[in-house]
Structure 1
Amino acid sequence: MSHWPIGVIYIELTPRQKQILAIVKEKGPITGEQIAEFLGLTRATIRPDLAILTMSGYLEARPRVGYFYAGDENRSLWLRRLRAIPVRAHHAPPVVVGEADSVREAIVRLFLEDVGTLYVLGRERLLAGVVSRKDLLRAAIGRQNLDEVPVGVIMTRMPNIVTVSPDDSVYDAAVKLLEYQVDSLPVVVPRGENRHALEVVGRFTKTTVTRVFVALGRDEPWVGGES
């Protein structure tokens, strides 16, 4: 287990991430393709590992040069900054449809809003599921009448949905995006005492992560949410 200094949040690395760190320490600067070759893997396979190590401050990435080992001091600073940025300050408004809405209506909404995922609301406008581009594409290439098929038939239902809280850090949310390979996460708050009754208050996307990291890289204060 890899630890931060006492009093600082730590992150546990996987065996492959530790291998990557060892390679970069010895061979850096080194490209992602070269790291993958040392491991006998493809660049796509290790892309999530490189992203996590970079976000955590273990590595630095420089265009047309490759990856460098950042060192403990830099890593600690980056993680503390990321842990201090809450999701509530940066999430975008949610894009939703009703569980009884037709697949055709959902497709129109998806394209009008230019998003990859719609959040589906059920009774009392609580989160009931999510529907993705792939879900809608599968329905569209079938022989069903899209005006007659409700979104509830093709969506992924609760509790099989990855969510994030407004109080979570953008780092934790970014890790979920990578681990579960999704384009966005519904930002939810419990309604009442039932922890399974979730109200959708926003969406956290890969675009959000990109904007936060650009702001951090420029050492700029991050003001406002995602447009």
Structure 2
Amino acid sequence: MKEGINIKLSDRQNKIIQIIEKEQPITGESIADKIGLTRATLRPDLAVLSMCGMIDAKPKVGYFLSNKKGNKDILEKLSSIKLSDIKSLPVAVTESTSVYDSIVTIFLENVGTLFVVENDTLKGVVSRKDLLKATMSGGDLSTIPIGVIMTRFPKIVCCTEDETVINAAEKIIENEVDCLPIVEILSNGKMKAIGRVSKTNITKVILDISR
């Protein structure tokens, strides 16, 4: 492990590694049984460990430790990269923006998620899935404000600039979303969207490291 890089696996992730090392190959269900949790609960941990090359899996066989040193280096590097280094600019609309105009914006900007902002404060998040549901529900999309269908706090999952790529990947997998707002906490306790991190951002970083 490279000196100076601090890799922080959770206690549960370390336990998973220990179980796989001892009993490989082993299925996800068996790992969950040994820890006393459900397979669904472990899914984010297994996904992150697989993504970073710590473990591999074969269908109908199970998980086993990866022997690829190059892949293991990915985890070291991802654990040292801050979101401030990879963030994209947020694409924002206001609560009064119509669903129709939001759909136009999401395609023109080629993003999967819009942030709803009022007076410099993050108020909500709208995904392509939200917009698809709105179109299927009928009604005049040009008169329906985006504030009606957006996801509001406390259901919004956020990141800060000083979190790592690994932190963001875990949140994206655990919450089954495509994109997270990167926020700055203001003096009044409200949040300002200063960036975004998506599955695409993380995939690009992994590809750059792999090359």
Q: Structure 2-normalised TM-score?
A: 0.76
1:75 and 1:194, CA in 2 relative to 1: closer, same or farther beyond 3 A?
A: farther
Query: Does structure 1 residue 22 correspond to structure 2 residue 19?
Result: yes
Q: Deviations over 1:38-85 (max 9, x none)?
A: 6699xx9575343211345532579xx9964148x9898554422210
2:65 pairs, out of 69, 80, 83, with: 69
2:9 pairs, out of 11, 16, 28, with: 11
1:104 and 1:89, CA in 2 relative to 1: closer, same or farther beyond 3 A?
A: same
User: How much does 1:178 deviate?
Assistant: 0.7
Q: Which residue of 1 aligns with 2:116?
A: 120
- Structure 1: which 4+ aligned runs deviate by more than 6 Å? 73-76
Query: Does structure 1 residue 35 correspond to structure 2 residue 31?
Result: no
Q: Which residue of 2 aligns with 1:225?
A: none
- Distance in structure 2 (CA, Å) of the matches to 1:173 and 1:95: 18
Q: Is the 8 A contact 1:25 1:69 kept in 2?
A: no
Residue type of the partner of 2:189? R
- Distance in structure 2 (CA, Å) of the matches to 1:130 and 1:216: 30
Q: Which residue of 1 aligns with 2:140?
A: 145
Aligned length: 198
Choose 153-162 or 205-214, whichever is displaced more. 153-162
Q: Structure 1-normalised TM-score?
A: 0.72
Residue type of the partner of 1:22? I
User: How much does 1:158 deviate?
Assistant: 2.4
2:169 pairs, out of 147, 157, 174, with: 174
Residue type of the partner of 2:163? D
Q: Considering Cα pairs closer than 8 Å and 6+ residues apart, tell me whether 1 or 2 has the greater RCO.
A: 2
- Distance in structure 2 (CA, Å) of the matches to 1:173 and 1:194: 25
Identity of aligned residues (%): 40
User: How much does 1:25 deviate?
Assistant: 5.1
Query: Does structure 1 residue 157 correspond to structure 2 residue 149?
Result: no
1:139 and 1:88, CA in 2 relative to 1: closer, same or farther beyond 3 A?
A: same
For residue 213 of structure 1, give the secondary structure of its aligned residue in structure 2: helix
Query: Does structure 1 residue 194 correspond to structure 2 residue 192?
Result: no
Identify unmatched segments of 5+ residues in structure 1.
Answer: 1-6, 29-33, 219-227
Task: Calculate the aligned-residue CA RMSD, in Å.
Answer: 3.4
Identify unmatched segments of 5+ residues in structure 2.
Answer: 34-38
1:140 and 1:82, CA in 2 relative to 1: closer, same or farther beyond 3 A?
A: same
1:54 pairs, out of 30, 50, 62, with: 50
1:110 pairs, out of 106, 111, 114, with: 106
- Distance in structure 1 (CA, Å) of the matches to 2:18 and 2:102: 44
Q: Is the 8 A contact 2:6 2:79 kept in 1?
A: no
Q: Which residue of 2 aligns with 1:135?
A: 130
